[in-house]
Amino acid sequence: MHQGRKDIAPDKAFPLTMASPGTYEVADLRGGREFTGKLLSMGVQAGKRLELITTGGCGPLMVNVEGSRIALGRGIAHRILVRNELSRRNSA
Amino acid sequence: MKSTTQYARSYRDVQTHKLPTVALIGNPNVGKTSVFNALTGSHQKVGNWPGVTVEKKEGRFTYEGQQVAMVDLPGLYSLSPYSLDERIARSFISQEQPGAVVVIVDASNLERNMYLVFELMEMGVNLVVDLNFMDEAKERGIEVNSKELSRFLGVPVVETVAFRRQGIDELKKAIVESLQAPRRPRTFPFPEKMEKFLQQTEKLIEDSCHHDIQTSSCFACGECAAPNHPVIGFPVRWVAIKLLEGDLEVNGNLLSSLPEENREVFAGHLRSLRQAVQAEYQEEPEIVVAEERYAVIHGFVKEFFHSRSTVSRRMKLTDRLDRYFCHRYLGLPIFLLLMWLTFQVTFFLGEFFEESIEGAFEVMGEAVITFFGGVGIPWLGSLLGEGVLGGIGAILVFLPNIFILFLMISILEDSGYLSRGAFVMDRLMHAIGLHGKSFIPMLLGFGCSVPGVMACRTLESERDRKLTLLVVPLMSCSARLPIFLLFTSLFFSRYQGTILFTLYLVGIISAITVAWVLRKTLFKGEVAPLIMELPIYRIPSPKNVLSESWRKSYLFLRKAGTIIFLVVVLVWLFASLPVGVEYASIDSLMGKLGEFFAPLFRPLGFGFWQASVALIFGTVAKEVVVGTLGTLFGGEAGLTEALSAYFTPVSAFSFMVFSLLYIPCVATLAAIKREAGWKWVGFAMVYLTALAYLVSLAVFQIGRLLFG
């Protein structure tokens, strides 16, 4: 399977909207408390493994977090920072 | 000694002999509705209208002689006060104080689901945990030891597969037992750093309460051991968590419970505590609390559930299907194709039954008229034959169509595709100023505007919600279908399907235009972003689908039997009075009423009194338009001839467009009132009528030029 973007430095975090389908690690949530709270209650949290299923062109994205799939509007996806999961494995 | 709220509650229970109430709560897509259905069976009361789990659903069951009333709360992820659903659920638990709360947990996705469980445990409610989807969990290699879990959480835990009714008896037993012997769930310590802040907050609450010497029932006074806060009625610890989170409601309640001179000091202490949290974690306290709660849950889940984390068959299938259904280019065409198929099936299959129902009513009507004519009371024959049977028959003909449409929507919903529709439509919806989720109320609106308007509650932002509920009535509901079917079969028999599709399109395009205009004017601002869970695809259970669509169709039938029946009788009366006039002639009361309004409709192509009357009565319920025409023109048979004489294809189309767009039925207006208030009811009535008039005017005038 696709393993994220290779042209980005391993531990650099980037917005989910820039990612191509593959598996990532959530690096940070950049938003107000309502935004973060909502994502947290749905299980999206820094350090979690996240699989991007479809990038959706200019529509919403679909991700898989712990077996549940969640649709995310682009505005939201842009504020979820992820990093390549590879980097975590390498450093571990 | 009991705290005041507890005392008040038990007193009230004794007073009204109320059944013990149990609330059902859970994340979306955990099978809450099937648990509710399996528990309560046919003993359900769903507000007044069909819909998904947005209205307050109530039911009851009996287990070993103990009757229990169940209330289904809206699906939610947490008890934060952001969305309407969350506020409804939280205020139900805090104000109604149910005897027990059953929390449904998706056993195949524990970590996320446990968040709500932990929040409920913090509230100290008498909890029963239901691990649902045990089959899916097992398939994914998740082993759950429910006995151990129960011991650890301090609450009963039951395993179910509600879809197949497995474990339902055990659940009933656990509910009844927990009502008889309520338990307080275990208190979990937060990670050390957080725990320190929490204990400081608890102490602050206790101290400030202790100063209030007036309150004799104060828990800190030493007289009573109840760990609940005397005013708020929930554990002090929960109050502390909420205060740290910055929960406005709890904060307000607590402050007003303090003597006035203490309030400022208390607020000051709390503020510095929150600032300390912020400084320590470099994050807003509310987020910190949520993250720390997760940390606790994470550790707990890791300890208790041994998952080989395999991917189940259903998940693989879901992945494969989503690759097409949610594809960036294919998704939308597939969605449109499915919608088109839905309507094709609805009308194609419906037609089979139509003729036989139509024939039956015709025969009955004639028989009734002949019979009463023979016995010498022809007026009664006219009332029953022409009025009642003519009017009701004209509506009932469409029951098969309506049933099939609800059936198709239920299948789409049960299979999990419906929320993909929201996903696929999000981009388009966004472009016109609506939310991806707005699509679900709008789709429900094709069945009935009332559940459509109610389903708007799932939209978090008030602006999005109001905007959506204002355009839902433009989606052509099933009650308008009889009008379209009648006219298209008469005037467009060769292109019936196409014309029907066009009418639905007129509704959709109007909704888009109105939404776009309103977003630019009254509801300026950004659309709230989309976050929505998409369920795993499942094969719809025939029993579920059939009973849901029957339930919704039955409500249509009941409406036909009550409101519509009354209106039809009223129409007959108006058409027969004053005594001696020819039935449904221009000299009748009805004729006078219609004549008064008719000139208004002349530019639209239907400036004759019968049409005006039908439209006026149609505001009660849109089915009545056909019913009224049926009564005015003497039943099914007369109707066909009369309409052909009065309408041309162009004016028929204009009439259909007007019926589609003008004031929705009374029930929809009532729903809008409940959700948004009278102001928006008035707004909807004015703008819909103006829109209907303008569009029909354009249709008729342009159509006349084009087609002569």
Domains observed in chain B:
4-180 (3.40.50.300), 192-306 (1.10.287.1770), 333-525+546-707 (no CATH)
B422 contacts A41? CB cut-off 8 A: no
B307 → chain A, closest CA residue: A66
CB-closest option in B318, B427, B531 to A76: B531
**B109 interaction partners in chain A (CB closer than 8 Å):** 43, 66-68
The C-alpha atoms of residue B68 and residue B20 are separated, in whole angstroms, by 6
How many A/B residue pairs have CB atoms within 8 Å?
A: 118
How many C-beta atoms lie closer than 10 Å to residue B63's C-beta?
A: 17
In sequence order, the β-bridge partners of residue B307 are: B142
Query: Is B78 an 8 Å CB contact of chain A?
Result: yes
What mean pLDDT is reported for chain B?
80
Q: Is B85's pLDDT higher than 90?
A: no
Whole-angstrom distance, CA of residue A55 vs CA of residue A52? 7
Which residue from B116, B424, B532 is facing A70, i.e. has the nearest CB?
A: B532
Span of B63-72, B224-233, B447-456, B639-648 with lowest mean pLDDT: B224-233
Residue with tokens 């707004």: B683
Percent of chain B topping pLDDT 90: 17
Rounded to a whole number, what is the distance in Å from the CA of B263 to chain A's nearest CA?
26
> How far is Cα B650 from Cα B459, in angstroms, rounded to an integer?
39
B residues 284..313 contacting A (CB < 8 A): 284, 286-287, 290-291, 294
**Residues of chain A contacting residue B118, judged by C-beta atoms under 8 Å apart:** none
B439–chain A nearest CA distance, Å: 14
* Nearest alpha carbon to residue B384 among B568, B558, B240: B568
Best of A69, A70, A78, A79 to disrupt the B interface (most B CBs within 10 Å) is: A69
Predicted local confidence at residue B196, as pLDDT: 92
User: Rounded to a whole number, what is the distance in Å from the CA of A57 to chain B's nearest CA?
Assistant: 6
Closest residue in A to B315 (Cα–Cα): A67
3-state SS of A76-90 is HHHCEEEEEHHHHHH
Q: In B, which residues are within 8 Å of A45 by CB distance?
A: 291, 294
Q: Report helix angle B313-325 to B417-431, nearest 10.
A: 30
Q: What are phi and psi of B67, to 5 degrees?
A: -90, 140
Please report residues of A whose CB lies closer than 8 A to that of B106. 68
Residues of B whose CB is below 8 A from A55: 328
- The CB density around residue B288, as the number of other CB atoms within 10 Å, is 23
Q: Chain A: residue nearest B531 by CA?
A: A72
The Cα–Cα gap between B446 and B406 comes to 9
pLDDT of B689 > 80? The answer is yes
Rounded Cα gap, residues B238 and B123, in angstroms:
6
B152 CB-contact burial (10 Å; exposed 0-12 / middle 13-18 / buried 19+): middle
Side-chain-facing half-sphere of B132: CA atoms under 13 Å: 28
Domains belonging to chain A, first-starting first, are: 14-91 (2.30.30.90)
CA distance A46 to A27: 5
Which residue has tokens 């007036």? B214
* Best residue in B318, B530, B533, B537 for a mutation probing chain A (most A CBs within 10 Å): B530
What is the predicted pLDDT for the residue at B118?
92
Residue B326 sits at the chain A interface (C-beta within 8 Å): yes
Asked if the Cβ–Cβ distance from B430 to A62 is below 8 Å, we say no
Q: Do A40 and B290 touch (CB under 8 A)?
A: yes
- Give the residue from B300, B291, B290 showing the smallest Cα distance to B79: B290
pLDDT digits (tens, 9 = 90+) for B533-562: 888 888 888 887 888 788 777 766 776 667
- pLDDT-derived band of residue B698, with 50, 70 and 90 as boundaries? very high
Extract the runs of DSSP E, i.e. beta strands, from B442-498: none
Count of residues making up chain B: 708
For B633-687, write each residue's pLDDT tens digit.
766 667 788 888 888 999 999 999 999 999 987 778 877 887 888 899 999 999 9
Determine the Cα–Cα distance for residues B251 and B211; give it in Å rounded to an integer.
18
Look at residue B367 and tell me whether its pLDDT is greater than 70: yes
Residue numbers in A near B287 (CB within 8 A): 33, 36-37, 40
Shortest Cα distance from B81 to chain A (angstroms)? 10
Dihedral angle at the C-alpha atoms of B75, B80, B85, B89, nearest 10 degrees? 80
Percent of residues in chain B assigned helix, strand, coil, to nearest 5? 70, 5, 25
Residues A42, B112: C-beta atoms closer than 8 Å: yes
| Residues sharing a CB contact under 8 Å with residue B365, sequence separation 6 or more, in sequence order | B385, B386, B389, B390, B393, B635, B636
The reply to whether B617 touches chain A by the CB within 8 Å rule is no
List the single range of B81-85, B404-408, B477-481 with lowest mean pLDDT: B81-85
Q: Which residues in chain B are contacts of A63 at CB distance < 8 A? A: none
3-state per-residue secondary structure call for B292-319? HHHHHHHHHHHHHCEECCCCCHHHHHHH
**DSSP secondary structure code for residue B387 in this structure:** I
B133: exposed, middle or buried (Cβ count in 10 Å: 0-12, 13-18, 19+): buried
